[in-house]
Amino acid sequence: KLIYSPPCSLWAGIPGLEGRGWSTLCFLNTCLVIICSLALELVCCFVLVLAFQTLIVNFR
């Protein structure tokens, strides 16, 4: 069962995430997708990634 992982280029469009933290964010996103793929929980993955995005943006 494969879960679609957004390409790293999509993360570059988020304001405040350009440059230094971009590759780290992309790496962590990939890890979340892999973890959720192993769990076979598409909804879990969507919620985690969305929450992670929101957390980073709000933190900035």
Quick one: pLDDT at residue 51?
78
Quick one: pLDDT at residue 15?
52
Residue 16 CA, distance from chain mean position:
15
pTM over 0.75: no
Per-residue pLDDT of the chain (60 residues; tens, 9 = 90+): 344 445 554 544 555 545 555 566 666 676 666 666 665 555 666 677 777 777 767 665
Domain ranges of the chain: 18-59
Ramachandran area for residue 40 (φ above 0: left; ψ -120 to 50: alpha; else beta):
left
Quick one: pLDDT at residue 47?
72
Quick one: pLDDT at residue 3?
44
Within 10 Å of residue 48's Cβ, how many Cβ atoms?
17
